[in-house]
Amino acid sequence: MRITLIGAGAIGTLWAVKLSQAGHHVHLITRDGADKRALNLDDTSLTLPANQPDLLRYSDLWLVCTKSYDVQAALTPCFAHLEPETMVMLMHNGMGPHQWLIDTLPASQPLLLATTSQGVFRAETGEYRHTGNGPTALGAGNQAGEACQFLADVLDHALPAATWQSDILESLWYKLAVNSVINPLTALHGIKNGELLKRDYAPIIDALCQELATVMRAERILASATQVRQRVETVAKATADNYSSMNRDVFYRRPTELAYITGYVLQRAQAHQISTPHHQQLHQAVQQVER
């Protein structure tokens, strides 16, 4: 397949390298506009073409792996080269840009939504290390996307395990719930994910999970506070020695994805008139730390 990867950060680099190794023609859209980009992942070094309008236009798939706050700015200039049959897939932390894309794209354009738990670490030298092999879930973001189930095999062949989900919003909401607990708490307290398993954090985690389950049910996602809590604990255990992405963003004084994680929960809570005081307080506290 001809694939354009939009965003060559940690997750974009991982997929670009794995999809190239699986035999696909991969092209990149990067912020610097250069016509090629060297990628380094573990023992692999690759140089891929970048920012070439013809390669963008003749791609079968656009895979968007930018930070959530960059999706709109990265995709908008690409639209001039979007062919009617090109499949567009979003794969980023947080939620929100999918709604903008549903409203922006023609209904006949295949839209896919994906979430991955693959772990990638950026060394100080700029090289990436593939540190954890987590699952990837993908599914249709609109009706035209329903015809693209074969993409699960394409991704699974390049970097297993990737599976098709008939209700991808459920997977996205569970990932959002995990990120809404782990990311802001670890960013605020300057701790690794595993430290959240200590007893001191149990009351705030319980309260956040209660609020999340209420909002999720209003969004027609089957969820109880216990299920959400179990998911949070499983991820905190599996990534105990890692710093969350928001923790690193705050540490390195970079913009965070707060608006697309806690901010999205607050937005949906408000739409359903659900009170979420613990998310509100956490949102304010992280905003203060960001400032």
Between residues 230 and 275, which has the closer beta carbon with respect to ligand KPL? Answer: 230
Between residues 142 and 244, which has the closer beta carbon with respect to ligand KPL? Answer: 244
Residue 286: half-sphere exposure toward Cβ, Cα within 13 Å: 30
x/- contact string, 268-287, with ligand KPL (CB under 6 A)?
A: --------------------
- Please, which of residues 30-59 interact with ligand KPL by CB under 6 A? none
x/- contact string, 124-163, with ligand KPL (CB under 6 A)?
A: ----------------------------------------
Between residues 51 and 201, which has the closer beta carbon with respect to ligand KPL? Answer: 201
- 237 among known catalytic residues: no
How wide is the angle at C-alpha 147 spanned by C-alphas 145 and 106, nearest 5°? 40
Tell me how far CA of residue 116 lies from CA of 10, 54, 99, 185, 199, in angstroms: 12, 29, 19, 21, 29
Core vs surface per residue 133-152: b (16+ CB within 10 A) or e: eeebbbbbbbebbeebeebb
The minimum distance between CB 235 and ligand KPL, in angstroms, equals 5
68 binds ligand KPL (CB under 6 A): no
Q: Which of 179, 180, 256, 276 binds ligand KPL (CB under 6 A)?
A: 179
193 binds ligand KPL (CB under 6 A): yes
x/- contact string, 231-270, with ligand KPL (CB under 6 A)?
A: ----x---x--x-xx-------------------------
Stretches 54-62, 103-111, 176-184, 216-224: which one binds ligand KPL (CB under 6 A)?
176-184
Q: How many Å apart are CA 210 and CA 278, to the nearest integer? A: 10
Q: Which of 51, 118, 183, 256 binds ligand KPL (CB under 6 A)?
A: 183
The minimum distance between CB 137 and ligand KPL, in angstroms, equals 13
Task: Catalytic residue, from 175, 192, 198, 237: name it.
Answer: 175
Q: Which of 11, 178, 209, 265 binds ligand KPL (CB under 6 A)?
A: 178
x/- contact string, 95-124, with ligand KPL (CB under 6 A)?
A: ------------------------------
The footprint of ligand KPL on this chain (CB under 6 A) covers a number of residues equal to: 11
Burial of residue 239 (CB within 10 Å: 0-12, 13-18, 19+) is buried
The minimum distance between CB 15 and ligand KPL, in angstroms, equals 16
Q: Which residues are catalytic?
A: 175
Per CB under 6 A, residues contacting ligand KPL are 93, 178-179, 182-183, 193, 235, 239, 242, 244-245
